[in-house]
Amino acid sequence: MPMELLLPKKINSTEKMVLTDARQVTVIGANGSGKTRFCNQMMKLCGDKAFRLCAMRAMFPDTSAEVLPGSISDIFNKLNESTPLLKSLANTEFDKLVHIMLTEEFHDLMSYKAHLLMNEQLKVPKTKLDTTVKMWQEVFPKNKVLRENGKLLFSNEDSTDQYSSLRLSDGEKAVLYYIGAVQYAMPGAVVLVDDPETFIHSSIMTPLWNVIEEIRPDCTFVYNTHNLEFASTRIDNHCVWVKSFDPANMAWDYEVMNSSIHLSESIYLEILGSRKPVLFIEGDDTHSIDGKLYPLIFRDYTVKPLGSCNKVIECVRSFNNLQSFHHLNSWGIVDRDRRDAKEVEYLRAKKILVPDVAEVENILLLEGVIKAVARHRKKNPDEVFMRVKRSVLRMFSSELRQQALQHVRHRVKNDVEKRIDKRFTNIGALEEHMVDLVNEIDPRSIYEGLCRQFHTYLQNGDYASVLRVFNQKSMLPDCNVAGLMGLSDKKSYIHAVLGILKTDGPEAEAIRAAIKSCFGLTNPEA
């Protein structure tokens, strides 16, 4: 059964911190947070139940004089002292492990032979080496392990060569080491695995450690890891987030996530080391305008692109539900995408910011942005803006009915999805309901109302409202804003905006103010 696990001293706390029913523990934290010292202290508190695994350390000669009781090196030394056979001069923990397994197999087979000579019928003993070889070959099915003349040799199905462990890759060695070594942990051990991802390909990380844990169901596994995606895969996991270390008092600032809380998003773990509030956005951080623009606007936030709108909404919800653990505030930004006022209001109540423009490129056509870039480029800001405005209104006029139709399609789709969610006893009832929906929703009436509304925008020269409803990817290049700035194309205009934002001048602040206002953020510090 999993044991109770005593945790190191917590800053400003006199209570003992204990994890009960601990089966898996992942320890995470930013560089410099004291995470490794935290794990070392955990092992000290475990006493004679502490057992450490580290592939990185196992591959190289250990120059440390300290040998922990029950460790692979300790087992090796005792075996070397007691064996009448030729003593080994293994220098690395990996080589010591191989020697231990081979020696154990020799002793088991000698004992088996002795029983046979006494006419005792026994099954061939299953050794730790047998288990290791079987599982290793399941991970690397093209590779074979041979036992010849007291040595382990390896081969590959694509070659007839036989070779020693020296020719194994670091990943192959690491898997062999972890599978073999964990079998020598003392009963009920707390197995600390330092950097379980080291040398291990991501495709086998989760299944490998699942199987290793199954070998030792009596043990608690503590993972000191930088691989946050792996941390999120531990099903029975207690997640310990180490924030900082007080060396004077040998105490840590840390939080424990209860195993009942599901880590559904590796993204959540990825930002734990941040001290800033989090802003989830659409797009990516290399190609999309979102990923390049918003970090320069919201400089006090950790901006994390997630790709899709749905991903942003879900991550904001999940992250804020766990705020009691991480104490960080989280917001999201999604494109307006023909959402009506009620949808926008609903999302903003859920801490999802929605701009007063149809899509992210329209942000670059805000009056405040255009005028700031014009001033920076030594152009007349009022003249440039008026010409861009006339161009945008002209394009909107030519596409008014098509734009209205797209908005109608969006609204109808949402209404149908909401209203169709009923149980029907037969197909006739569903058909009747669908006919009623057409009459209830009345798409033509919505369409005609939007056309009148859009015409009003044009009559009033309401540029801001046009930007809010006009979804057209070609608008930015076709309105000639770049040419009016003395720039060659859309790309150069975007670069100009981003370049200004990378400075701390008045035009950068004017752009930030215009964009934040577009999100309904009037506080300059927001």
DSSP 278: E
Q: Is the pLDDT of residue 333 over 80?
A: yes
Asked if residue 502 belongs to a domain, the reply is: no
Query: Does residue 444 sit in helix, strand or coil?
Result: helix
**Do residue 177 and residue 98 come from a single domain?**
yes
Q: Kindly indicate the confidence band of residue 262, based on its pLDDT and cuts at 50, 70 and 90.
A: very low
pLDDT digits (tens, 9 = 90+) for 65-85: 678 888 998 888 888 787 665
- Could you give the CA distance from residue 526 to residue 521 in angstroms, rounded to a whole number? 6
**Do residue 246 and residue 263 come from a single domain?**
yes
**Do residue 42 and residue 189 come from a single domain?**
yes
- Could you give the CA distance from residue 22 to residue 6 in angstroms, rounded to a whole number? 10
Average pLDDT estimate for 307-328: 70
- Quote the Cα angle for 492-336-263, to 5°: 100
Which class for 237: exposed (0-12), middle (13-18), buried (19 or more C-beta within 10 A)?
Answer: buried
Asked if residue 93 belongs to a domain, the reply is: yes
Asked if residue 434 belongs to a domain, the reply is: no
**Do residue 189 and residue 292 come from a single domain?**
no
**Do residue 15 and residue 97 come from a single domain?**
no
**Do residue 170 and residue 114 come from a single domain?**
yes
pLDDT digits (tens, 9 = 90+) for 440-487: 778 888 899 999 999 999 999 999 999 999 988 889 999 999 999 999
- pLDDT score at 275: 59
**Do residue 279 and residue 269 come from a single domain?**
no
Are 165 and 154 contacting, i.e. CB atoms less than 8 angstroms apart?
A: yes
Helix, strand counts (H, E) of the chain: 24, 14
Contacts of residue 476, defined as CB under 8 A and 6 or more positions apart, other chains included, come to 361, 364, 365, 490, 493
Asked if residue 168 belongs to a domain, the reply is: yes
Q: Which of 269, 243, 213 is nearest to 22 (CA)?
A: 213
**Do residue 38 and residue 125 come from a single domain?**
no
- pLDDT score at 259: 44
Q: How many CB atoms lie within 10 A of CB 524?
A: 10
- pLDDT score at 340: 78
Which stretch of DSSP H or E encloses residue 344?
Answer: helix 341-349
- pLDDT score at 400: 95
Q: How far are the Cα atoms of 191, 245, 348 from residue 47, in angstroms, in the given order?
A: 12, 22, 52
- pLDDT score at 321: 65
- Could you give the CA distance from residue 160 to residue 146 in angstroms, rounded to a whole number? 12
* CATH at 259: 3.40.50.300
Of 259 and 460, the structure prediction assigns the larger pLDDT to 460
Asked if residue 489 belongs to a domain, the reply is: no
Q: Is the pLDDT of residue 523 over 70?
A: no
Which stretch of DSSP H or E encloses residue 97?
Answer: helix 93-117
- Would the pTM count as exceeding 0.75? no
Q: What are phi and psi of 170, to 5 degrees?
A: -60, -40
> Residue 193 pairs with which residues in a beta bridge?
53, 223
Report the number of distinct structural domains present in the chain: 3
**Do residue 97 and residue 164 come from a single domain?**
yes
Domain carrying residue 156: 71-183
Contacts of residue 76, defined as CB under 8 A and 6 or more positions apart, other chains included, come to 88, 90, 96, 97, 99, 100
Radius of gyration of the chain (CA): 32
pLDDT digits (tens, 9 = 90+) for 416-445: 776 666 667 778 877 777 777 777 778 888
Among the candidates 183, 213, 232, a domain finishes at 183
The share of the chain scoring above pLDDT 90, in percent, equals: 36
- pLDDT score at 265: 42
Are 384 and 370 contacting, i.e. CB atoms less than 8 angstroms apart?
A: yes
**Do residue 193 and residue 267 come from a single domain?**
yes
Are 467 and 357 contacting, i.e. CB atoms less than 8 angstroms apart?
A: yes
- Could you give the CA distance from residue 147 to residue 154 in angstroms, rounded to a whole number? 9
The share of the chain scoring above pLDDT 70, in percent, equals: 88
Query: Does residue 154 sit in helix, strand or coil?
Result: strand
Asked if residue 439 belongs to a domain, the reply is: no
Among the candidates 306, 329, 354, a domain finishes at 354
- pLDDT score at 243: 84
Average pLDDT estimate for 177-182: 95
Extract the tokens encoding 155. 């081969």
> Residue 156 pairs with which residues in a beta bridge?
143
- pLDDT score at 178: 96
Helices (H), 399-525: 400-419, 427-441, 443-460, 463-469, 475-478, 481-484, 490-501, 506-518
Q: Kindly indicate the confidence band of residue 260, based on its pLDDT and cuts at 50, 70 and 90.
A: very low
Q: Kindly indicate the confidence band of residue 87, based on its pLDDT and cuts at 50, 70 and 90.
A: low
Length of the chain in terms of residues written: 526
Asked if residue 456 belongs to a domain, the reply is: no
**Do residue 126 and residue 215 come from a single domain?**
no
Torsion sign over Cα 378, 384, 388, 391? negative
**Do residue 54 and residue 118 come from a single domain?**
no
Which class for 403: exposed (0-12), middle (13-18), buried (19 or more C-beta within 10 A)?
Answer: buried
Are 153 and 162 contacting, i.e. CB atoms less than 8 angstroms apart?
A: yes
With tokens 């859009």, the residue in question is: 454
Are 328 and 278 contacting, i.e. CB atoms less than 8 angstroms apart?
A: yes
Among the candidates 183, 212, 237, a domain finishes at 183
Q: Kindly indicate the confidence band of residue 279, based on its pLDDT and cuts at 50, 70 and 90.
A: confident
Asked if residue 479 belongs to a domain, the reply is: no
**What is the distance in angstroms between the CA of the first residue and the CA of the last residue of the chain?**
50
pLDDT digits (tens, 9 = 90+) for 380-407: 999 999 999 999 999 999 999 999 999 9
Q: Kindly indicate the confidence band of residue 63, based on its pLDDT and cuts at 50, 70 and 90.
A: low
